[in-house]
């Protein structure tokens, strides 16, 4: 279930109570809404609710897993991962926050693309891809309007789960470049065209 708490972990409040999986949640920038994944109907779909847990509504209805959602900085769109074409072959999608206007952004035949995260301007995202092999995941930048992509990390093993700071100047991600999985942070400079 989805639980909300104060920043120090105190005052926990249960927001979902349906049987099964309710997880992978993210707040909108204004803190008024939460988007999350639920399998309450037997198929993992995306839902939105008010920050207090009220007004829960389903926004995806296509067969297959939909998960890892994030609101755009302006709260008008949602980026997420889904395996619409084959189990576990995740691709990245974007849609309006009401579930309309869904569009697939990645479509590599045997490449897993997942863990998308918005950049502050709402025009581009960073994401994790197996484009260089399933034992060498890397972080890429994608302009969702033009489709332009650019590689961000260049190390053997896993680099993924990227997040960008609200001012767009730092990237934090998980990497195995030091052997085991560790969290890294680095300066981030937006290239022209993104």
pLDDT in tens, 160-178: 999 999 999 999 999 999 8
Q: Which residues contact 154 (CB under 8 A, 6 or more apart)?
A: 138
Global pTM value: 0.94
Which residues are within 8 A (CB) of 51 and not within 5 positions of it... i.e. 6 or more apart? 4, 27, 31, 32, 33, 34
Both tokens of residue 10?
């105190």
| Model pLDDT, residue 18 | 94
Please give the C-alpha separations between residue 82 and each of 8, 29, 45, 178, 190, in angstroms, as whole numbers: 32, 23, 9, 30, 27
First to last CA, the chain: 36
Q: What is the predicted pLDDT for the residue at 115?
A: 97
Token couple for 135: 């034992």
Q: What is the pLDDT of residue 12?
A: 97
Output the CA–CA distances (angstroms, integers) from residue 78 to 6, 36, 53, in the order listed: 25, 11, 19
Give per-10-residue mean pLDDT for the chain (194 aa).
96 96 97 97 97 98 96 98 91 97 90 96 96 94 96 95 96 95 96 86
- β-pairing, 91-96 with 77-82? antiparallel
CA distance 192 to 99: 30
Q: Residue 152, by phi and psi: left (phi above 0), alpha (psi -120 to 50) or beta?
A: alpha
In the block, tokens 């755009």 appear at 72
**Range 180-187, long-range pairs (CB < 8 A, 24+ positions):** none
**Cα(184)–Cα(159) distance, rounded to whole angstroms?**
10
């Amino acid at each position: 279930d989805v639980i909300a708490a104060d920043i120090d972990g105190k005052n926990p409040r249960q927001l979902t109570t349906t049987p099964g999986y309710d997880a992978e949640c993210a707040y909108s920038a204004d803190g008024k809404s939460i988007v999350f994944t639920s399998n309450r109907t037997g198929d993992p779909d995306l839902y939105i609710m008010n920050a207090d847990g009220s007004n829960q509504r389903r926004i995806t209805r296509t067969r297959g897993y939909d998960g890892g959602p994030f609101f755009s900085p302006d709260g008008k769109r949602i980026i997420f991962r889904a395996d619409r074409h084959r189990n576990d072959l995740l691709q990245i999608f974007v849609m309006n926050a009401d579930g309309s206007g869904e569009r697939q952004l990645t479509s590599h035949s045997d490449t897993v693309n997942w863990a998308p995260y918005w950049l502050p301007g709402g025009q581009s995202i960073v994401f994790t891809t197996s484009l260089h092999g399933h034992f060498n995941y890397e972080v890429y930048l994608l302009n969702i309007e033009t489709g332009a992509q650019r590689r961000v990390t260049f190390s053997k093993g896993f680099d993924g789960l990227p997040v960008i700071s609200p001012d767009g100047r730092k990237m934090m991600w998980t990497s195995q470049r030091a052997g085991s999985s560790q969290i890294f942070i680095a300066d981030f400079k937006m290239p022209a065209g993104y």
